[in-house]
Structure 1
Amino acid sequence: MSKLPRVGALFWAIKIVATTLGESVSNYVAITPMKLGYAAAVIIFFTAFALTLIMQLRADRFRPAVFWSVILMTSIVGTATSDFMNRTVGLGYTGGAAVLTSLLVIVLIGWRATGLTMDVERIDTTKGEIWYWTATLLSNTLGTSSGDFLSHSVGLGFRGSALVLSTAMLLILAAHYLTPISGTVLFWTAYVLTRPLGAVAENTVEKPVAQGGLGVGTTITSAVLLAVLVILVGYQMLTHRQQTLTLDTAAVRR
């Protein structure tokens, strides 16, 4: 059995909600109301990420609550790390996005060079999982930087950035059905873009009106997103037998 879920509408819905929640939770702890700062947030969240990842790697099959906990933690620690790099260290949104994009490209090329499958539905080895989670952590860290880059450096604002990213996702969906472009290439493109989409969507709702948001705040935003995530993951737990594939081990490693 694959330890990762099938890719479909439910997968993308949970991915977007989880990564959007990650942005909100990181802001809640690092900025307001807790105001612990980015460095402290990175340490706390990276520890939590490591613990959830160990649970995932030790799992014998797909366990929705564990899998999505790791996704959520990559988004939370990724947001805090990106903000620390860009604001505390001083790389800026453009510099941070450039560094993280380069790292993600290197990881994806390295993964491809190993000969291990990059089709997430068919990953069933620990090495494959490690590559997957490394790419996920980097893409979710990049998502915050790229979302801020579009909103602030390019000047699109939160709503404009959300519109651009939503359009890009629709184009990828159309390409999936209407073009012969590799499904794996389209998957990873969409997988990376869901993170900045979640970031700018969260900022649109959470940030004060003076900053271009709706002024809902991090507490209410986080609570609503958490409730939606629990409902979606709960549904997947009830239907998890239909959410994974039974794999031919030899075929996977080809």
Structure 2
Amino acid sequence: MYRPPPQTGRPVIFMVHGGAWRIGDKTNHSVVKTKVRRWLKQGWVFISTNYRLLPTADPYTQAADVAKALAYAQSHSAEWGADASKFILMGHSSGAHLVSLLATDSTLSDHLQLSPILGSVWLDSAALDVSLIMQQTHSRFYDKAFGTSPAYWQKVSALEHLNKDVKPIALICSTQRDDSCPQAQSLAIKAEQLGVSATLIRANLSHHQINATLGDNNTYTHQVEAFMRGLNPALGAFLKPAK
């Protein structure tokens, strides 16, 4: 957890690292460095969380781990000068997949009495429709994550869980990949049909750069901040003026 000097009512970015569901850590530079450098100065609390990895925990169990970590963070937020009602979820790659499940599947958190999140930022997940992935030619690491059960594929697909009560989503996808933007666009189309706010940002950045350069003074960061600013009028005090 990274925080500026104590104050009350600070908003929170709750970050989930990637790593193909089997590697990665909450302290990796690409996960925290640029984000902390930018947003702590503006008064945000930044929380980066770990979760159990493959083969110890399957992706749905990992999403449940993230839900428990979020519940803990919200319950202790006042101790850190933060506001439990001003949380934004963010995740990269497989971490974005876990965030997408937590944002769309209420059964992961109904028993935890979470405060509603403001919205979520999904950084270059190519696994929003797992059923589609597994029925096409795909990378072998997906087999290790999702197995062979069509019922499980549906269970871990945000596209299957998307509903009209989902909070606003920012879908960032890399135009340098073949699979990320089509998955993001499909979800954005369904979101529009349901009346869910979904902002699609196509970035001419690599998969790694989408994570590592968020927080740099660039157009991409400004686009993400514009989404964040629109979630709650109070967030304007914690973000640089729009360009």
**Shorter chain as normaliser: what TM range?**
0.3 to 0.5
- Greater RCO (Cα-Cα under 8 Å, separation 6 or more): 1
Calculate the TM-score normalised by the size of structure 1: 0.35
